[in-house]
Structure 1
Amino acid sequence: MDNGCEVVWFKRDLRLTDHTPLQQAVQRCQQRGHTLVLLYCIEPELWRQPDMAHRHWLFIRDCLAELAQQIQSRSHTETSLLVAFGSLTDTLHWLHHHCAIQGLWSHQETGNDWTFQRDRQVQAWCREHRLEWFESPQHAVRRGGINRDDYEQFSQQFFDMTCAGVPALAISMPECVRQLPLDQISDIHADLSLLRYSGDFLIANPSVRAMTCISGEQIQRGGRSLGLQLLDTFVASRSHRYLQNLARPLQGATFSSRLSPHLAWGSLSAREVMACARHALMQADDASHKRNLQAFISRLHWQSHFMQKLEAEPAMEFVEQNRLYQAQAEGANRDGEGELEPRLTAWFHGLTGQPMIDACMRCLRQTGWLPFRMRAMVMSYASYLLWLPWQRTAPLLATLFTDYEPGIHYPQIQMQSGVTGINPNRIYNPVKQSLDQDPQGHFIARFCPELASLPASWRHHPALITRAELLRHGLELGVDYPQPMVDHEAAAQRARQRLAMVHNHSEHRQTSRNVYEKHGSRRRSAQRHATSSVDVRQLSLF
């Protein structure tokens, strides 16, 4: 048996740069003569969760391949990435039996409820085997919550820290891992298989739910080198037109950073992206470019701000932050516009009869990305106008976002569904957003090709055009393209009336104050009112 090993568990941190757990584990190996295991675990149960999808794996597998290649290229001892197929505790049990684990090292994770419960099981396993689990923050998020009055200072201190470099991987693997054949899956027992991985091929994940595979999906590729390329081109050139195009679904695909999946899955660290953006800001020589870079830097702060919310209140994945809205939703059953399932299916597949909504959902299904404004709009449409329960739409949207980050996703879902009590109820008018962000209807024509033959001005709301005129352009509503499921103006009015019932409740002010004290930003804003405790800048995250 070896003298003992240190295990670095890669999670949403698929990189070697600015990886504190890796750096600290290597130092301890050098000090104590331990061997080193670099581990990624493909956990079947995680991939059965309703918010996990095929496109997430496609991005992760790219990152894993490059990570494995980097490990081999930087190792002087033929160290490889160990990929396990099975539960983490089964994997740790096998490693501990064969090479005496001395410490487990990882980043903290603000994930979904399943990962939260999994981490509790890992903690119990470590206690049972008298092992230390060393967790390091990789975002400006304090484990267990934080007094929001102190958060801005805490966040600033985190981002001011110097990024850690890549440690020298001159440490051997344990004999039990070294004996595994390279690039061949070894079945340990019925519930555990191991792969010593070189990165020379892409790994298949047999646990991905087939129903989440979308035909023709063309999502962003993963891997650190692509992330660095995006970062370089953004700060150098694309950021010049960042704010101008941030909300536009066509132009935003080019001029937004497109770094969100790399941050979500950790091929880049938030701190190194912040350092790069700050450096570019110092070098910028015109006021416009500085404004754009400052806006991007602000959004990096907001990322951690939202993640801190879920960290402080994990139940946010399932339950409204302001419990008064829970009672209201249950009372109305959020089913006031006909049967729920047909509405949910039509929304998810982009068949609502509202062109901008449908184009956005189809774009999301095909590409895995939308700009923030459009994300807010499709969620607002589902919650307010179709009156769908956010608990049903949230995991569906998660499966479509390549950059799904639970700590951002669930607070944003609740914000755009109007159940926090501290944010304005933004009921987006999809026709107005269409005219504002896609005035010529090019985005609609691309993703709703059945409307491409219409004059540009008709594409935004074809239901207003007579049947005879539509037929002359080869379109019949209800046959070639759906009739609108709802009258968006009438549905918006009904939603306002329902929400007013909660807002007028005698306890609303106090429950909203409680939410603000726990989760609200303390950043000053001229637009914030003492009675509402709202910071509208929170709506510009993505």
Structure 2
Amino acid sequence: MTESEPTTAIVWFRRDLRLHDNRALAAAAEADRLVPVYCVDPRRCGSRSYGGSEPFAFQRLGARRARFRRESLAALRERMREAGTDLLIRRGRPERVLPDLAADVGAGTVTFHDLPAPEERSVRAATTAALRDRGVTPRRFWGRTLHHPADLPTPYTAISDTYTDFREAVEAESRVRAPRPRPSLPPLPTDDDPTISDPLSPGELPSVAEFVEGEIEASERDDRAALDFRGGEDAALDRLSAYLWDGDRLREYRETRNGLVGADYSSKLSPWLNEGCLSPRRVHAAVEAYERERVANDSTYWLLFELRWRDFFQFQVLKHGGQFFAPGGLRRRDVEWRWDEDDFERWAAGETGVPFVDASMRELNATGYLSNRGRQNAASFLANDLRLDWRRGAAYFETRLVDYDPASNYGNWAYVAGVGNDSRERAFDVVSQAKRYDPDAEFVTRWLPELASLPPERAHEPWTLSPAEQADFGVELGVDYPPPMIDPESSGDDPV
């Protein structure tokens, strides 16, 4: 190629579906022509087997997250078209699609963001090897975390496995890079360009059914949902603005973050962060602006504290790889996890007879979202009270959550199950937790309307109703609501 010939680059979108603060996009946009592409990888859809010594099958992507991803892709395509280009959709494995596409358009480079989970890194390795075999230069970047790996006090392979130590180190010795603005985007190669071997077709956006194997679960939005999560960069930035500036809720984040009902008890930015519609550095910049213009307090700090928790799990997955997902977790504990299909199905359906757990699971099933407090208690009940394999619960969350992220989901589950990044026992007293965080039983009765006639104290402990009281309140245990699967008095401690 002579210097006078135009350069062409491909940007491969993964979980970074945004234009702002996108280093891979900015690098590719330095070329004369740009080909943005998203690959619908069949390995990421349908059912799969959880590997290892005790494999089991599960649906890896549920309809709600599939819909959110499709909305995010549609929004990204719209932004691309407004900028005078387009988003190509290709179906197939990236290691096969991208080398062929590079040959078709005469691209010399493919840029992309790296991701931390072992499977994601395996796809990256296969893709970069295939590109190099075809004479194409892969260029990878990092945009997943608040802190860049190069800015950590130590290499990620040497970071502490304890969050407090990690946080204190990055707060003292690291920095957060400023988010990058949206780049100007060069055009697509035109079909009449002689270097193009095949006409460029944008391709159809994937349907929800294409992501989900078998019968699609009902995915209508539930009126009781905490927030109407819609995919895309614009929706992400709108939520950030609404929470910080319009609602002015950041000033009370630390006090409200354990809430259970409503749109603003927490930031609820996680679906957009995890799909890459929102950069964590953009959030950091917004928090700093809020602190300058309104208030800097424990709550503004605490949102950044939680973003560093998210970083911690991303780097832990990078450090430990597959051990992060093993039955014994990072602590390699030899635990004989029980398996009982009926018990698991009762937990998953919200039919355990413990209202706080059941309300949590029913909210998850109906909306794809669940508060952090609900997640911790539902996870503790499965792993610590029922002693069922924590990975199966985590895999169920993987299917259902609209904000699923491999590192955060499995990291938090392992943490609660006592095999992760904390040596302390994390068993929750779910009844005590219910009384503390849902004193008026508003959350429980919202998702368990069959208990709505009960006073709050009894709604959390319906098994204490005498036969006469059951008749008075119109709630018959075993008919209207199941008896508890466990002795509630034997549930765990009561961590804050």
What is the TM-score with the length of structure 2 in the denominator?
Answer: 0.85
Matched, 1:209 2:225: no
Q: Counterpart in 2 of 1:36? A: 34
What do residues 404-449 of structure 1 show as CA deviations (whole Å, max 9, x unaligned)? Answer: 1112111111100011373321211111111111111111111011
Are residues 157 and 172 of structure 1, via their aligned partners in 2, closer, same or farther at CA, if it must alter by over 3 Å?
A: farther
Q: Which one of the candidate residues 131, 136, 139 is aligned to 1:131?
A: 136
Mapped to 2, the partners of 1:174 and 1:260 lie a distance apart of 38
Q: Counterpart in 1 of 2:417? A: 417
Mapped to 2, the partners of 1:404 and 1:437 lie a distance apart of 24
Q: Which one of the candidate residues 78, 82, 85 is aligned to 1:73?
A: 82
- Report how far residue 177 of structure 1 moved: 9.1
**Would you say the 8 A contact 1:249–1:438 is kept in 2?**
yes
Matched, 1:105 2:111: yes
Question: How large is the Cα RMSD of the aligned pairs?
Answer: 2.7
Matched, 1:117 2:125: no
Q: Which one of the candidate residues 220, 236, 241 is aligned to 1:232?
A: 241
Query: How is 1:245-394 mapped onto 2 (pairs within 5 angstroms)?
Result: 245-251=256-262, 253-285=263-295, 290-315=297-322, 316-325=324-333, 327=334, 329-330=335-336, 334-335=337-338, 340-394=340-394
What do residues 215-237 of structure 1 show as CA deviations (whole Å, max 9, x unaligned)? Answer: 54546111222211211122221
SS in 1 for 2:11: strand
Q: Counterpart in 1 of 2:199? A: 179
**Would you say the 8 A contact 1:310–1:410 is kept in 2?**
no
| Stretch of structure 1 that moved more, 162-171 or 456-465 | 162-171
What do residues 5-47 of structure 1 show as CA deviations (whole Å, max 9, x unaligned)? Answer: 31101111111111111111111x14xxxx3210011112211
Structure 2 counterpart of 1:131, one-letter code: V
Instruction: Tell me which protein shows more helix as a share of its residues.
Output: 1
Are residues 235 and 117 of structure 1, via their aligned partners in 2, closer, same or farther at CA, if it must alter by over 3 Å?
A: same
Are residues 391 and 141 of structure 1, via their aligned partners in 2, closer, same or farther at CA, if it must alter by over 3 Å?
A: farther
**Would you say the 8 A contact 2:45–2:210 is kept in 1?**
no
What is the TM-score with the length of structure 1 in the denominator?
Answer: 0.79
**Would you say the 8 A contact 1:54–1:209 is kept in 2?**
no
Are residues 205 and 372 of structure 1, via their aligned partners in 2, closer, same or farther at CA, if it must alter by over 3 Å?
A: same
**Would you say the 8 A contact 2:8–2:34 is kept in 1?**
yes
Structure 1 counterpart of 2:310, one-letter code: Q
Matched, 1:242 2:246: no
Structure 1 counterpart of 2:184, one-letter code: A
Gaps of 5+ in 2: 49-58, 223-227
- Report how far residue 174 of structure 1 moved: 5.3
Gaps of 5+ in 1: 183-193, 497-535
Are residues 96 and 215 of structure 1, via their aligned partners in 2, closer, same or farther at CA, if it must alter by over 3 Å?
A: closer
| Stretch of structure 1 that moved more, 368-377 or 65-74 | 368-377
What do residues 129-163 of structure 1 show as CA deviations (whole Å, max 9, x unaligned)? Answer: 23221111112353983322696666788753221
Mapped to 2, the partners of 1:123 and 1:343 lie a distance apart of 44
Mapped to 1, the partners of 2:344 and 2:455 lie a distance apart of 30
**Would you say the 8 A contact 1:214–1:365 is kept in 2?**
no
What do residues 510-530 of structure 1 show as CA deviations (whole Å, max 9, x unaligned)? Answer: xxxxxxxxxxxxxxxxxxxxx
Are residues 178 and 271 of structure 1, via their aligned partners in 2, closer, same or farther at CA, if it must alter by over 3 Å?
A: farther
Structure 1 counterpart of 2:276, one-letter code: G
Query: How is 1:133-148 mapped onto 2 (pairs within 5 angstroms)?
Result: 133-138=138-143, 139=145, 140=147, 142=149, 145-148=156-159
